[in-house]
Amino acid sequence: KKEPFQPVSMLSETDHCLNWDDIVLLQKQLFQLEEAEGGIDLFTRSYRIFGVQRRPDNSLFFKEWAPAAEALFLTGDFNGWDKFSHPYSKTEFGKWELILPPKYDKSPAVDHNTKLKVVVHTKEGQRLYRISPWAKYVTREEKSVIYDWIHWDPPQPYIQIHPRPKKPTSLRIYEAHVGIASPEGKIASYTNFTINVLPRIKDLGYNCIQLMAIMEHAYYASFGYQITSFFAASSRYGTPDELKQMIDVAHSMGILVLLDVVHSHASKNTEDGLNRFDGSDSCFFHSPPRGEHSQWGSRLFNYSSWEVLRFLLSNLRWWMEEYCFDGFRFDGITSMLYHHHGIGTVFTGDYSEYFGLQVDEDSVVYLMLANHILHTFYPDCITVAEDVSGMPAVCRGVQEGGLGFDYRLAMAIPDKWIQILKELKDEDWDIGNIVYTLTNRRYGEKCIAYAESHDQALVGDKTLAFWLMDKEMYTNMSFLSPMTPIIDRGLQLHKMIRLLTHGLGGEGYLNFMGNEFGHPEWLDFPREGNNHSYHYARRQFNLVDMDHLRYCQLYAFDRDMNRTEDKYGWLAAPPAFVSAKHEEDKVIVFDRANVLFIFNFHHIKSFQDYRVAVELPGKYKIKLDSDEFQYGGHGRLDHNTEFFTEAQPFNGRSNSMRVNILTSHF
């Protein structure tokens, strides 16, 4: 039995509190949720009431919220698609219910894996065919454009047996997409991912997967960001049970799985989405114009609506309870936080940009509520905010007026790397600016650093590997041909950029599937503009397995970078102390978790007996060296060398020592 829900404890001192009004609003919402409908626990598990439920006697109970509807009917395979034989009856607050008694043989009236639709009669006399917003499984037949609601109630459901792994102190995230996770130009399955990709992730030393494009989205090329069925795991990759197995196997390997959750907007599809479910242009959404996102062409939720709160909060609990996810990456937070959705807005960091009438208080309170409820029911749950605006306190507790996230994505870092690779010659790199970008984060808020994510892999943009090596990757990556200057520079900088970001940029690290080995091609989903081709909707893991190609060297470095982090735990340690950011030498030195990081970005110069600062005195040894042969380096450093500190203070540290640091380019 669960403890009664604990409301947020009030702060006594308002002066420490960033956003007092929002805390009061949050308290009010929590109080109302606790009072109504049997408490927050039940309210946020409304997926056990809405949609369809099988009761112990095998009768089926159907329930929907469709406030603008005139009448609701259930139709499907079970009644020969009769449109009028099974009406819902109207109850209070725009809700509709229907009970189907069991068949003569006591089995449920609707068989597992058969099709259903809700028929909505509007006040204007239209008859609309709809999928329940609570549908747990939807599929599309090969030639059809429209999805079907499938009654999913397998006789032998998959039971997950592995407990959730312990929450790691150092989060190393592998951002992944199941459908593109194979070298073949077709959609890969959950099972394929389980068999072929999970072992790679484990080997690479990532302890967390951030899974994209799981919530069902009718349009594959939306990359999972135009959701049509919020409770359905995409059937493109297999059944709900196969996803459960995939998560179970990940857990057995000690790997957490976060869901990329999209609550910031919804697909505008009507036939297979939530839009105009009850025939009106509001229901789950604000009416236009507020309810439409002008750039994304999608619908925006009305977060002040009781039923929307039920729907979205229950959605979070559904993925936690039913699939055993370990947390969420909340997509598109910036669009939620501001009435202007971030469109045409530049954020400079001035507080006036974050506090004022442009802030959407309903969304702010929704996010506080979501985080509070998740962390209360699942203390180890991890939530990550995708916010480009840099709003303060996104990752502080709700008690302080924060939004309650655990981490935010450090979105400025990938932009910086791209800008550098695109615009600057090696000799013009601004070392101070690089260090500034990597260390410029809000005090007391945790960041996930990344050199590149799926954003940079998408067609129209370029990955680091592509910026660095471009077309030569197709012709010059073989060990059988001599190393060219472009490939040499590319291999070295690829590793150094990633390690620098890993060590200095945050409290967590993220990599997008394939970039760990410098995946040579971009991502482009099948769509009209490319003749519906799957050629670029894949990841060529086969390249890593080819012994004669250099991709395996980048892979090995990525693996050992993670493993080394696992041993020393710099992500979990306080931010680094940067003792050198030398513009002329192009040298960066910092220490974190008693690990000393030394980077030489100079395009030609090596330095002998170069003094570097360290805090702890003693003997130092090389633990990870991007110049090792096995990583595509030149093997110039002797790993048996021991470095002894001298009690000579240097660059703000108590001790120092002399090292040889070689230029990365041969």
Ligand X SMILES: *[C@@H]1O[C@H](CO)[C@@H](O)[C@H](O)[C@H]1NC(C)=O
CA separation for the pair 221, 216 (Å, rounded) = 12
Segment interacting with ligand X, rule: CB under 6 A, options 6-14, 82-90, 560-568, 639-647: 560-568
The b/e string for 606-637 (b: 16+ C-beta within 10 A; e otherwise) is ebeebebbbeeeeebebebbbbbeebbbeeeb
CB 74 within 8 Å of CB 37: no
* Residue 288 burial (C-beta neighbours within 10 Å; 0-12, 13-18, 19+): exposed
Residues 502-531: x/- map of binding to ligand X (CB under 6 A)? Answer: ----------------------------xx
Tally Cβ neighbours within 10 Å of residue 47: 20
Name which of 58 and 484 has its Cβ closer to ligand X. Answer: 484
Q: How many whole angstroms from its chain centre is CA 473?
A: 29
Q: Which of 91, 475, 542, 648 binds ligand X (CB under 6 A)?
A: 475
Segment interacting with ligand X, rule: CB under 6 A, options 246-254, 299-307, 342-350, 399-407: 299-307
Segment interacting with ligand X, rule: CB under 6 A, options 133-141, 561-569, 606-614, 648-656: 561-569
Q: Closest separation between CB of residue 621 and ligand X, Å? A: 12
Q: Which of 14, 85, 107, 287 binds ligand X (CB under 6 A)?
A: 287
CB 336 within 8 Å of CB 279: no
User: Is 331 among the residues known to form the active site?
Assistant: yes
Residues 71-110: x/- map of binding to ligand X (CB under 6 A)? Answer: ----------------------------------------
CA-based R_g, the chain, Å? 27
CA separation for the pair 271, 135 (Å, rounded) = 13
> What residues form DSSP beta bridges with 577?
591
Q: Closest separation between CB of residue 483 and ligand X, Å? A: 8
Q: Is 195 in the site for ligand X (CB under 6 A)?
A: yes
Check the CA dihedral 583-588-590-596 and report its sign: negative
Nearest to 261, CA basis, from 235, 292, 225? 225
Q: Is 476 in the site for ligand X (CB under 6 A)?
A: yes
Nearest to 194, CA basis, from 257, 150, 259? 257
Residues from 151 through 170 that contact ligand X (CB under 6 A): none
> What residues form DSSP beta bridges with 292?
299
Q: Which of 166, 471, 535, 639 binds ligand X (CB under 6 A)?
A: 471
Q: Is 203 in the site for ligand X (CB under 6 A)?
A: no
CA separation for the pair 366, 341 (Å, rounded) = 16
**Where does residue 361 fall: left (phi above 0), alpha (psi -120 to 50 degrees), or beta otherwise?**
alpha
User: Is 386 among the residues known to form the active site?
Assistant: yes
CB 348 within 8 Å of CB 12: no
**Close Cβ partners of 480 (under 8 Å, ≥ 6 residues apart):** 548
Q: Closest separation between CB of residue 441 and ligand X, Å? A: 26
Residues from 302 through 361 that contact ligand X (CB under 6 A): 302, 304-306
User: Which residue type does 543 have?
Assistant: L
CA separation for the pair 306, 33 (Å, rounded) = 9
**Catalytic residue (one of 148, 241, 278, 386):** 386
Q: Closest separation between CB of residue 281 and ligand X, Å? A: 9
Name which of 280 and 660 has its Cβ closer to ligand X. Answer: 280
Residue 390, phi then psi, degrees to nearest 5: 75, 35
Segment interacting with ligand X, rule: CB under 6 A, options 88-96, 376-384, 479-487, 570-578: 479-487
Name which of 171 and 393 has its Cβ closer to ligand X. Answer: 171
Peptide bond into 165 cis (omega under 30): no
Nearest to 328, CA basis, from 215, 202, 249? 215
CA separation for the pair 392, 375 (Å, rounded) = 20
Q: Which of 59, 282, 439, 440 binds ligand X (CB under 6 A)?
A: 282
Residues from 118 through 147 that contact ligand X (CB under 6 A): none
Name which of 4 and 635 has its Cβ closer to ligand X. Answer: 635
Q: Which of 186, 339, 340, 548 binds ligand X (CB under 6 A)?
A: 186
Residues from 608 through 627 that contact ligand X (CB under 6 A): none
Tally Cβ neighbours within 10 Å of residue 41: 17
Q: Which of 322, 361, 472, 615 binds ligand X (CB under 6 A)?
A: 472
Segment interacting with ligand X, rule: CB under 6 A, options 7-15, 318-326, 410-418, 475-483: 475-483
Q: Residues touching ligand X: how many (CB under 6 A)?
A: 28
Positions marked catalytic: 331, 386
Q: Which residues contact ligand X by CB under 6 A?
A: 182, 184, 186, 188, 192, 195-196, 282, 286-287, 302, 304-306, 471-472, 475-476, 481-482, 484, 530-531, 560, 563-564, 566-567
